[in-house]
A = this chain, B = another copy of it.
């Protein structure tokens, strides 16, 4: 391995300063230097300012023949509301591998939503001395991918309501005449996207004038059932007042009022498409196949039926390229996609991982983070993402904290924004040991995929030696390949060197092939039940609505898709208060929905909020700009 010219070792200060102050204390190197260290030629990336670049997919063609590096996924135990430091561990590990262990390494992270940045504390760039920089560029706009998703999602939404409106006011003939207007020579033609609908309808004619009146009716009239529309508008702002709204109340909309709402942009199916696509052509197909609702006769209506699939692809064509950034210690980071980890699969993109694995090459490391606990993010990483990407991970890290383990052992409730109970600030080995059942189940579940599991014990200042050692022993007893105490928040990469060494060994010593939890050809119910079993459930019960939806999706031909469970992140079960490793419960499936273009069915276990609100004193009170230096202040 050649030594990188851009990595640097940090001079740390104790106690650890605020994240934004640490981020601002380190001058990033020009991103072209980071690219050069990865052997990226200027033809394969586009600069976006001095510290960001978009890595073009064309680099995959160039590196098609080279081997992949090692592939590591970071998950966690079931978290407290405060989070257990998965992002910080992901970054710290990479700083260790790159700056201290002289390995080629790329971190692959999700792009954070902008909404929470202005609402509640906590960015997503890691923390302390393990961060992606520049922090403000990471948390705001980045390179506009979420903005592109917002625009594309809302273009499709506008197309839906407008089409319903136009169909309600025009005859078949008038509709068709406008859809295929004669050109200056009086000749009509179908646009490219229209052939997709014609194919779906089994019409093979290429000249609009040849269609029979019945064919005109079928082609021109989507006959959307307004009550079946699942597509909502999105916005990347926390705005609870848009959760449920009525639209179309203007006089010109002729009484076509409809109830709908806004999700936050990262909850859009288009975000999930971006994360799961493997190429530009594949993205075009997935976008066109997105189902927005049904016709009155029960057929799924797609974006291509509405004529908008190509336009969505155009809006997303730059978003498909991941954004290159760097850590505090100068190691490369690819930031791409950021789907929710509840109603979507909570992982960064396949294309970023594929590019990174080629760039680091054999013996190099790609580390990606899976959202929430391993029952959610890592499960979906394995069963959805790896299935679509065809990639094989060697190692899964499970991040654990004493705080969370005490909670699982029976400690008092942990509430965001409230001081921690005394039990979390003083030594209590028995409480920690009691909570290790949660970690043990995550280790067992994750091992079943065939990867080596390493537990990263994220050390806090209140943790004692006895508590830390108890966790380490419990992890090894539960079958972890290794368990390592880490201090990367306080010490940067230096604090994760032991973790880096453990991960190297884990990757080099894989003995099992990748094994999915279920084959996709099982029925929807059988797949749901396989996942529920991994949660410790004794069975599953389906609501009437869920049964109806499962029947509909099966009838429509979508039963072969993987399952993306939408479940609370705070428990293995549907009950957020059930800590530890609950078992013997019946998992209630309240509803079942689908993201057909992204390619998964998502059962709802309980209610999932897809549009957060703002508190009384949102973080925007602290966020400002020094208009002399242009620096952002007050980001947390």
| A residues adjacent to B (C-beta < 8 A) | 46-50, 54, 114, 118, 136, 140-141, 144, 147-148, 150-151, 154-155, 157-159, 161-162, 165-166, 170, 175, 178-181, 191-194, 233, 235-250, 252-253, 256, 258-259, 261, 279-281, 283-284, 307-311, 313-315, 317-318, 613-618, 620-625, 627-628, 630, 632, 634-635
* Min distance, Cβ A77 to any Cβ of chain B, angstroms: 27
* Min distance, Cβ A246 to any Cβ of chain B, angstroms: 4
In the complex, which residues of chain B have a beta carbon less than 8 angstroms from the beta carbon of A258?
241
In the complex, which residues of chain B have a beta carbon less than 8 angstroms from the beta carbon of A315?
140-141
How far does the alpha carbon of A307 sit from the alpha carbon of B622 in the complex, in Å? 8
Residue of B49, B236, B279, B318 touching A151 (CB-CB under 8 A): B236
In the complex, which residues of chain B have a beta carbon less than 8 angstroms from the beta carbon of A47?
46-49
How far does the alpha carbon of A148 sit from the alpha carbon of B237 in the complex, in Å? 12
* Min distance, Cβ A286 to any Cβ of chain B, angstroms: 12
> Residue on B with the closest CB to A316?
B625
With contacts A246-B249, A307-B618, A632-B317 taken as known, whether A157 is within 8 angstroms of B239 at the C-beta atoms is yes
In the complex, which residues of chain B have a beta carbon less than 8 angstroms from the beta carbon of A158?
237-241, 614
* Min distance, Cβ A136 to any Cβ of chain B, angstroms: 7
* Min distance, Cβ A186 to any Cβ of chain B, angstroms: 12
With contacts A48-B49, A310-B623 taken as known, whether A154 is within 8 angstroms of B237 at the C-beta atoms is yes
In contact, B155 and A314 (Cβ under 8 angstroms): no
In the complex, which residues of chain B have a beta carbon less than 8 angstroms from the beta carbon of A246?
245-246, 249
Copies in the complex: 2
In contact, B118 and A623 (Cβ under 8 angstroms): no
In the complex, which residues of chain B have a beta carbon less than 8 angstroms from the beta carbon of A192?
624
In contact, A191 and B622 (Cβ under 8 angstroms): yes
* Min distance, Cβ A111 to any Cβ of chain B, angstroms: 14
In contact, B241 and A621 (Cβ under 8 angstroms): no
In contact, B237 and A247 (Cβ under 8 angstroms): no
With contacts A315-B140, A627-B280 taken as known, whether A151 is within 8 angstroms of B237 at the C-beta atoms is yes
With contacts A47-B49, A178-B615, A618-B162 taken as known, whether A314 is within 8 angstroms of B144 at the C-beta atoms is no
In contact, A136 and B314 (Cβ under 8 angstroms): yes
Residue of B239, B309, B632 touching A161 (CB-CB under 8 A): B239
How far does the alpha carbon of A245 sit from the alpha carbon of B144 in the complex, in Å? 28
How far does the alpha carbon of A400 sit from the alpha carbon of B170 in the complex, in Å? 38
In contact, A620 and B147 (Cβ under 8 angstroms): no
Residue of B49, B150, B313, B613 touching A150 (CB-CB under 8 A): B150
Residue of B50, B155, B240, B247 touching A253 (CB-CB under 8 A): B240
Residue of B140, B245, B632 touching A245 (CB-CB under 8 A): B245
How far does the alpha carbon of A309 sit from the alpha carbon of B246 in the complex, in Å? 29
* Min distance, Cβ A455 to any Cβ of chain B, angstroms: 31
How far does the alpha carbon of A191 sit from the alpha carbon of B622 in the complex, in Å? 6
In contact, A141 and B318 (Cβ under 8 angstroms): yes
How far does the alpha carbon of A150 sit from the alpha carbon of B154 in the complex, in Å? 13
In contact, A148 and B159 (Cβ under 8 angstroms): no
In the complex, which residues of chain B have a beta carbon less than 8 angstroms from the beta carbon of A150?
147, 150
How far does the alpha carbon of A140 sit from the alpha carbon of B432 in the complex, in Å? 54
Residue of B157, B248, B317, B618 touching A625 (CB-CB under 8 A): B317
